[in-house]
Amino acid sequence: MYEHLAQAPDIENLEHQGYVTLALGEPACALIDEIAELTLTFFRQDDEVKSADSIRHLHEGWQPFGGEFSITPDRPDLHESFWVTRRNATRAAATYSSMGRALHAKMVQHLSIMQHLEADITRDIRRHLGLEDVKESAIDGPLDADLQVLYYQPQRQHRDLLQDEHEDGLYMTLTWADSPGLEILGPNGVFHGLSQGRGRVSVLPGEILSLMSGCRIKPMIHRVRRHAEQLERLSINYFAVPDLDRSADIEKWIACPQHGAVSVADRIRHNRSQFLVQ
Ligand SMILES: [Fe+2]
């Protein structure tokens, strides 16, 4: 139980303050340090070199600047990224350069740690919601998951927001960053910065978790503000969503009168098709 954390999180915060912050144990912190060091070396290369480590049809490896968006393709997110997906990671590994392969291998390790944490969090959410006796569903098994490292160069940009406000449309996001910028929408309707730093991973619920929980847990709306003094900013983001290959439909844990007619599987399919510039 929470073998990768320094202390167990207070899961009630997901319902009452909208997010919860995890304190990673030292081995998981050290792995992030290694990923950050490799990532900075990787992203500082020329685009032509990085493109050799890009497998776009698999959503694996390097994605160039402006390849994703939060709300509209007219306002791309102002970062580059490196992706590892649970689905394609093994297939992708063989094609990378030595640097791409080294980064990929560390990211696969981090993805695995985040998957364990996500399963522990789900168990505690179910306990918090009083669902121990409610039938498990596809969401209680291994989920589909991606890990992305995002690389920003805030000083080179001009917009106030490096990512516009959005919610991730998934089940759960676990996010870490090396410096400030992430802001979340508080219950008073005001955005405020989330404290990040070494060993601190924030759990942000998405729409799918909200639907599963009968809307007791709300999707967390967030954005990334530009801090002009930052030359570089890294974030590492784990995104999880139920695997529709394992189950054609997903029964909600708690029915929600407001969204009773919404199919969880349909929302997953719809949300999955968003956010990428073609
Ligand atoms: Fe996001």
pLDDT tens-digit series, residues 144-178: 899 999 999 999 999 999 999 999 999 999 999 99
Q: State the distance from the centre of ligand 1 to the C-alpha of 205, rounded, in angstroms.
A: 10
pLDDT at 4: 93
Confidence check: pLDDT of 77 > 90: no
pLDDT at 270: 83
The residue among 44, 47, 31, 150 whose CA lies nearest residue 102 is: 31
Work out whether strand 172-177 and strand 54-55 pair parallel, antiparallel, or are unpaired.
Answer: unpaired
Q: State the distance from the centre of ligand 1 to the C-alpha of 129, rounded, in angstroms.
A: 25
Q: State the distance from the centre of ligand 1 to the C-alpha of 17, rounded, in angstroms.
A: 18
Identify the residue with better confidence: 228 or 90. 228
H-only helix segments in 69-196: 89-93, 98-128
Percent of the residues in the chain that have a pLDDT greater than 70, as a whole number: 94
What is the rounded average pLDDT of the residues 236-241? 94
Confidence of residue 189 (pLDDT cuts 50, 70, 90): very high
Q: State the distance from the centre of ligand 1 to the C-alpha of 167, rounded, in angstroms.
A: 6
Identify the residue with better confidence: 70 or 159. 159
Q: State the distance from the centre of ligand 1 to the C-alpha of 203, rounded, in angstroms.
A: 11
Report the alpha-carbon distance of residue 239 to residue 247 in Å, rounded.
19
Torsion of CA 197, 78, 166, 113, to 10 degrees: -40
Report the alpha-carbon distance of residue 268 to residue 260 in Å, rounded.
16
pLDDT at 68: 81
Q: State the distance from the centre of ligand 1 to the C-alpha of 239, rounded, in angstroms.
A: 9
Confidence of residue 118 (pLDDT cuts 50, 70, 90): very high
Report the alpha-carbon distance of residue 195 to residue 131 in Å, rounded.
31
The residue among 224, 30, 11, 202 whose CA lies nearest residue 110 is: 30
pLDDT at 266: 87
Percent of the residues in the chain that have a pLDDT greater than 90, as a whole number: 67
Confidence check: pLDDT of 12 > 60: yes
Contacts of 5 (CB under 8 A, 6+ apart): 22, 23, 24, 25, 28, 117
Q: State the distance from the centre of ligand 1 to the C-alpha of 223, rounded, in angstroms.
A: 7
Compute the half-sphere exposure of residue 185: CA atoms within 13 Å on the CB side of its CA. Answer: 12
Q: State the distance from the centre of ligand 1 to the C-alpha of 70, rounded, in angstroms.
A: 7
Q: State the distance from the centre of ligand 1 to the C-alpha of 26, rounded, in angstroms.
A: 26
What is the rounded average pLDDT of the residues 248-264? 82
What is the rounded average pLDDT of the residues 252-270? 84
Query: What's the token pair of residue 161?
Result: 């927001």
Query: What's the token pair of residue 179?
Result: 């410096």
What's the whole-model pTM score?
0.93
Q: State the distance from the centre of ligand 1 to the C-alpha of 5, rounded, in angstroms.
A: 23
Residue type, 138: A
Confidence of residue 194 (pLDDT cuts 50, 70, 90): very high
Confidence check: pLDDT of 278 > 60: no
Sheet of 233-241: strands edge to edge?
A: 20-23, 200-205, 172-177, 233-241, 144-152, 80-85, 60-63, 54-55
Confidence check: pLDDT of 90 > 70: yes
Q: State the distance from the centre of ligand 1 to the C-alpha of 222, rounded, in angstroms.
A: 6
